[in-house]
């Protein structure tokens, strides 16, 4: 009987993005001896409401902290000026589940 690792993540999570290279490395090292189960979980419900300015600033500050903490991690700050961000991560989670159903989840990383 193999041990099971449950990896719970949100594809829109900034920290998950930052640690993605480490996650790939870890999963590759564990692939032979462990059953890895990926679970997606949304950090925010569906919403069409624009993200409050204070949250936008907090998230940009979080991105800067992640870039300082995890060498090589970069974010595209054009997102904040070229879009009207919403606090909604469910669409990204559903996209991962749809890709999984088609056998294409790994291509989303």
Phi, psi of 101 (to 5 degrees): -65, -25
Other CB atoms within 10 A of residue 9 CB: 19
Burial letters for 58-92: b for 16+ Cβ neighbours within 10 Å, e otherwise?
ebeeebeebeeebeebebeeeebeeeeeebbbbeb
Q: Single out the residue of 54, 83, 62, 56 nearest to residue 17, CA to CA.
A: 62
Query: Tens digits of per-residue pLDDT, 73-104?
Result: 999 999 999 999 988 888 888 888 898 899 88
Q: Domain of residue 93: give its range.
A: 3-108
Adjacent-strand bridge partners of 53: none
Q: The whole model's pTM is what? A: 0.81
Residue 82: CATH number of its domain: 3.40.30.10
Q: Say which residues have a Cβ less than 8 Å from residue 26's Cβ, sequence separation at least 6.
A: none
Query: Tens digits of per-residue pLDDT, 17-47?
Result: 999 999 999 999 998 889 999 888 877 778 8
Evaluate whether 21 touches 72 at the Cβ level (below 8 Å). yes
């Amino acid at each position: 009987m193999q041990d099971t690792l449950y990896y719970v993540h949100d594809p829109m999570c900034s920290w998950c993005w930052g640690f993605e290279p480490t996650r790939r490395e870890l999963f590759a090292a564990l692939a032979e001896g462990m059953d890895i189960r990926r679970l997606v979980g949304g950090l925010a419900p569906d919403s069409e409401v624009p993200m409050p300015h204070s949250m936008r600033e907090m998230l940009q500050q979080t991105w800067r902290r992640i870039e300082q903490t995890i060498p090589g991690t970069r974010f595209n700050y054009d997102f904040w000026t070229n879009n009207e961000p919403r606090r909604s991560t469910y669409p990204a989670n559903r996209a991962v589940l749809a890709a999984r159903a088609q056998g294409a989840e790994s291509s989303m990383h």
